[in-house]
């Protein structure tokens, strides 16, 4: 199984690096990178379907439903056998897609990160 980092995943990693720098979480970003390299990637290479199916989750809002529908359309364009899964780490949620013989790391968030970008909204 080939594992690829998407541009969004790399942007999320940069956001996490800034998040830990701002919140005085010295070493947390380095531990995350180590965990991804030492545990997450080897687990996904060996057991690509280890994560819970993401698209089977119930949307709790109109916005989530619209985003889920948009995601389903994009996934369908990539092929018939693709799916999106979530890999739960100790402090992070990682989303990935399996399409053909490739696994794409899509997104990663720490549970303490706000889901709404208040700074951008103001």
pTM exceeds cut of 0.85? no
Separation between Cα atoms, residue 93 and residue 81, nearest integer Å: 23
Q: According to the model, what pLDDT value does residue 70 have?
A: 86
The dihedral through the CA atoms of 81, 82, 83, 86 has a sign that is: positive
Separation between Cα atoms, residue 27 and residue 20, nearest integer Å: 8
CATH superfamily entry for domain 2-121:
RelE-like (3.30.2310.20)
Q: Angle at which helices 7-22 and 28-35 pack, to 10 degrees?
A: 150
pLDDT in tens, 52-87: 998 888 888 898 888 888 888 887 777 767 889 999
Q: According to the model, what pLDDT value does residue 114 have?
A: 60
Q: Where are the domains of the chain?
A: 2-121
pLDDT in tens, 98-118: 988 899 999 999 987 765 555
């Amino acid at each position: 199984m080939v594992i690829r980092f998407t541009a969004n995943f790399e942007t999320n990693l940069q956001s996490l690096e800034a998040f830990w720098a701002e919140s005085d979480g010295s070493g947390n970003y380095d531990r995350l990178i180590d965990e991804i390299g030492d545990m997450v990637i080897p687990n996904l290479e060996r057991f690509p379907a280890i994560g819970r199916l993401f698209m089977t989750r119930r949307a709790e809002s109109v916005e989530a439903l619209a985003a889920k529908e948009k995601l389903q359309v994009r996934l369908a364009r990539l092929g018939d056998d693709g799916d999106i899964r979530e890999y739960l780490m100790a402090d992070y949620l990682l989303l990935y897609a399996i399409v053909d013989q490739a696994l794409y790391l899509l997104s990663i968030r720490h549970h303490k990160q706000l889901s709404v970008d208040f700074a951008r909204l103001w």
